[in-house]
Amino acid sequence: MSAVRTQAERLLEQATTELEAGGVSSPRHDAEVLLSHVTGVPRMMLIGSAKPNGLQVKSFSALVSARASRVPLQHLTGSAAFRYVDVEVGPGVFVPRPETELLAGWAIDHAKTLSSPVVVELCAGAGAISLSVVHEVPGAQVHAVELDEPAYEWAQRNLAGTGVDLRLGDMADAFPDLDGQVDVVVANPPYIPLDAWESVAPEARDHDPALALWSGDDGLDAMRVVDKVAWRLLKPGGVVGAEHADAQGESAPAVFAPRWADVRDHRDLADRPRFVTATKPRG
């Protein structure tokens, strides 16, 4: 037993050192996730129970090297945990972030107050928000749109059999058949200014699709489209929520301020500005 434990410990220590040298922010965590992925042993049981064979050790080493070169962890494992679901991800689609779970939770909480809510997700990416809504609000009618074809294909996989109406296209002219009929519009649009290239982590900059990241000189071009589309789609009293960069805690709400009611910004778990919500006036 001690030899197995020593082997697992040694593999994790070596991997942690390599990932740390590569600039990975959570080296030990990522090493454990990758060893668990390779061996099928839960993270908390790796030290005592993992018995990697030669092929698994080789696979683990290759995955660690890829992660050290800043390939996203979720691309290497093939999935990302998001609220109560697992979302399949890989090259060609934006990896859902934990911060976005708060925006999804806001949309879900609002939808739960309605008997037969109609929810639209713009810029759906892998479909994580839509998948969470149908999982947590069984009576919801959910529609989603994604412009990027590779990302749309990932969303198709994740939303197959869920009843979500997924469409390929530009959010700007999406769902004309739903104008004035929607209760909740939710979006995690691109919001990084074009001149912020150097400040973006390699995992996102080098691996997430460009369409999911960049949004004009101030990062708010897509947010302005969300404003227009949500206004068109929502019923009076309907609500819109959209994620933004932490530096846009004032500029993102300002996009909605002229004609929306109850424009509010919300902070994430690290107490940073993260998403804006607004209500379409009834009168």
* Domain contains 112: yes
Among residues 69, 102, 126, the one where a domain terminates is 69
Place of tokens 């009834």: 282
The count of other CB atoms within 10 Å of the CB of residue 1 is: 7
Q: Which two tokens stand for residue 65?
A: 């090297």
Q: What is the Cα–Cα distance from 102 to 180, expressed in whole angstroms? A: 26
36 and 155 fall within a common domain: no
* Domain contains 258: yes
Place of tokens 């001690």: 2
pLDDT band of 75, cuts 50, 70, 90: confident
Q: What is the Cα–Cα distance from 15 to 59, expressed in whole angstroms? A: 12
* Domain contains 113: yes
173 and 37 fall within a common domain: no
User: Does residue 82 contact residue 104 with C-beta atoms inside 8 Å?
Assistant: yes
Asked if residue 152 belongs to a known ligand binding site, the reply is no
144 and 223 fall within a common domain: yes
Asked if residue 84 belongs to a known ligand binding site, the reply is no
The per-residue pLDDT for range 156-185, each reduced to its tens digit, is 999 999 999 999 999 999 999 999 999 999
258 and 198 fall within a common domain: yes
Sequence-distant (≥ 6) Cβ neighbours of residue 147 within 8 angstroms:
123, 168, 169, 170, 171, 211
* Domain contains 260: yes
The per-residue pLDDT for range 91-135, each reduced to its tens digit, is 888 888 889 999 999 999 999 999 999 999 999 999 999 999 999
Q: Which two tokens stand for residue 122?
A: 């713009």
The CATH number that applies at residue 241 is 3.40.50.150
217 and 139 fall within a common domain: yes
* Domain contains 206: yes
Among residues 69, 102, 124, the one where a domain terminates is 69
130 and 37 fall within a common domain: no
Q: What is the Cα–Cα distance from 236 to 158, expressed in whole angstroms? A: 31
17 and 133 fall within a common domain: no
Asked if residue 146 belongs to a known ligand binding site, the reply is yes
* Domain contains 132: yes
255 and 189 fall within a common domain: yes
Q: What is the Cα–Cα distance from 98 to 238, expressed in whole angstroms? A: 25
Count of the separate structural domains present in the chain = 2
The count of other CB atoms within 10 Å of the CB of residue 227 is: 23
The count of other CB atoms within 10 Å of the CB of residue 252 is: 27
Residue-level pLDDT at 51: 87
198 and 104 fall within a common domain: yes
Domain containing 177: what range? Answer: 92-279
User: Virtual CA dihedral for 241, 74, 248, 176, nearest 10 degrees?
Assistant: -40
116 and 256 fall within a common domain: yes
Residue-level pLDDT at 16: 95
* Burial of 108: CB neighbours in 10 Å, binned 0-12, 13-18, 19+: buried
User: Virtual CA dihedral for 150, 152, 154, 155, nearest 10 degrees?
Assistant: 170
Q: Which has more pLDDT, 46 or 263?
A: 263
121 and 198 fall within a common domain: yes
User: Does residue 53 contact residue 76 with C-beta atoms inside 8 Å?
Assistant: no
97 and 61 fall within a common domain: no
Short-list 256, 259, 166, 260, CA closest to 275:
256
* Domain contains 82: no
* Domain contains 126: yes
Residue-level pLDDT at 57: 93
DSSP-based three-state secondary structure for 239 = strand
DSSP-based three-state secondary structure for 182 = strand
Q: What is the Cα–Cα distance from 200 to 202, expressed in whole angstroms? A: 6
Average pLDDT, the chain: 89
Whole-prediction pTM value? Answer: 0.83
Q: Which has more pLDDT, 137 or 217?
A: 137
Sequence-distant (≥ 6) Cβ neighbours of residue 55 within 8 angstroms:
none
The CATH number that applies at residue 22 is 1.10.8
Q: What is the Cα–Cα distance from 192 to 212, expressed in whole angstroms? A: 9
